[in-house]
Amino acid sequence: MTDEYALRLRVRLHSGQEREFGPFALGEPAEQTVAGTTLRLGAEAPYRSVITPAPGERLAAVEYRLRGPLANFEEVIGPDSGRWFMNSAHPTAFWRFAKTAASRIEDVKTPLYLFTGRDRSVRLALGIVGGLVETDFALIEPVSNRALNVHTRVVEVSITRGTADYPLELPGDGSLAEAVYLAGGQGRAWSEVLREFSAHTRATHGTADRYEPGSTEPFWCSWTDWSSEDIDERMVLENVGIGLELGIRNFIVDDGWFGPGLDTAYERPLNIGDWQPDPAKFPDLRGLVEKVGALGGRLVIWCAPHAVGPAAEVYEQRRPYLIADAAGEPVICDTQFYSLCFQNAEARAVMAGICEALAADWGFHGAKYDLFNWIPPVPCASPHHTHDTGSAIEGLRLFLAAADERVRRHRPHYVVELKQNYGTALLSPYGTCMRAGDAPFDPDTNFLRTLHVQAYTPYALNDYQAFTPVDEPADVAVAVVKMLAAGIPAYGCDFAVLPAESRAVVRELHRLYEEFAEEFRTHRLPDDPEHAALRARSAGRDMVLLVRPGGAVRIDRPSQLLNGRYLTQVAVELAEGGATVSSYGVAGELLGVSRVPGGRLLLDVPIGGRLAVAPADSSAVGA
């Protein structure tokens, strides 16, 4: 590695003293001791870094300053949970508006900067492979203040592990062992580099994701097309009946099943936290669970186990365990509820008990754990309880682990939906799928968010998509194909008003999703850095999802091409022997079969339709 790539470190001790190390050229082993604190840096990528304090000292924070060459970048994907990175993807916007970021319990960010070149492949990646700790991020160069200063032709970023409010807590001799990640110039899409970074993180600090077959089946949710005031047993059962016929198996009863939801007027106090059904909406919730199960579905319940509303009957009982200021006054979040403190063992036990009761007492087949992104963004200073961990993020991990263990005593195959704000490779193992953040009526943002999740877990769940009265069957097909390209399909629409022609589209695409279940259980692989086409692969065949205009698709074995583009032709490259191509409409109707030669050619394909391509030297692909 050339000296264009450099590392400096600043160590802050609990005593308040600081130690500075470097600069170091990455790719060369190094060891340096400053006032008794020692840094050892490895020579192999990712570059292992071990910082050991002097006897009697403790590390409070470590700032890594990573430097690489500036170039003509196309995109920047900064440290993010995957929910908002697209807002500052243009480099000039990133230099100006994304100079700082913070990873906290309400939004756990991946400690990685990605810069793509003009072909959108990653040209520079700078990150830290480490565990779950509060982290601050800052752009050092280029500087955008009174002017954009780029004459240094350098990109330098700061990643600080441990903060003033959440200093590091390290066992044993107090050493911090992490690794510096550097990549680029290898023609890879950003999702591939993020996947590699996540794999390093998981191998060093995490555990494998749990594969729960039920979690990979399509979802429906009562949120998007309804107010929380309007959900009830009749509406749920109506959509369950239709959804099952369309191939959906997981049905979420979302916010509001217990009373007023987050979409109610602010002047109406929330009773969230009691976790008892509103009898007017769900007079027999246990009976509803049994009905859905008997029909062949799973009823998944929405829950924010940390949330306590001011109108909750348990408020006074839970008050000592709420996040509070130094005077003991609970801190209310913007959504007008309080939060139990994740740094307190008793509060975590209360939350895990809520999750366990939903599975054991009510019999739900799964749960959606939500709203950790609305935890008050302040450190808890309550005098009413103690903290057994100095990290709120670690407290979140401890809660998720406890809830997982307690729930699975009763239901080993429980479906657990988490959300990307509390994702990354280190938290996804505590759920069975990880959902992209809210993006109704915005298929492209939903695609990008789900793609970010897909980089670290194949069990990425799309946000719940819905359709408008003006959507034609082809529009529905394109939206569903775009979901399949990044993860598990999910819906928030009222199936009772969806036209029969559009229902037929959903049914057909879910049939294919089930037929190609083995392929869809794997990570989607981009054909190109622009993510124009993504593949779900098995040992003998491919499912190719076309979602953006792009180059020719290479077909060298039996493949299905689903057209999620608003284009009526696709460029393909075939081997010399050519192939048999079957064309299908949006509802699976066969339009024609033809024999085509090898080489590069254009094939006609309906918008939202598909092609089944069987190369001459392979067996036919399923219809």
Report the distance separating Cα 4 and Cα 71, nearest Å: 12
Q: Which residue has the higher pLDDT, 147 or 120?
A: 120
Alpha helix (H) residue ranges in 206-298: 233-245, 285-295
Contact 22, 33 (CB under 8 A): no
Cβ-Cβ contacts under 8 Å for 202 (sequence gap 6 or more): 208, 425, 426, 456
Report the distance separating Cα 507 and Cα 521, nearest Å: 19
Q: Sort strands 37-41 and 47-52 into parallel, antiparallel or unpaired.
A: antiparallel
What percent of the chain lies above the pLDDT cut of 90? 95
Cβ-Cβ contacts under 8 Å for 259 (sequence gap 6 or more): 270, 271, 272, 274, 278
- Report whether pLDDT(284) > 90: yes
Domain with CATH 3.20.20.70 in the chain: 213-304+356-373+390-435
Contact 305, 354 (CB under 8 A): yes
pLDDT at 205: 87
pLDDT at 622: 46
- Report whether pLDDT(621) > 60: no
- Topology of the domain comprising 213-304+356-373+390-435: TIM Barrel (3.20.20)
Computed over every residue of the chain, the mean pLDDT equals: 96
pLDDT at 2: 55
Of 205, 108, 74, residue with least CA distance to 437: 108
- Given the structure tokens 């209310």, which residue do they identify? 332
pTM of the model: 0.97
295-351 confidence digits (pLDDT tens):
999 999 999 999 999 999 999 999 999 999 999 999 999 999 999 999 999 999 999
- Report whether pLDDT(115) > 50: yes
What is the 3-class SS of 434-451, one letter each residue?
Answer: EECCCCCCCHHHHHHHHH
Contact 401, 428 (CB under 8 A): no
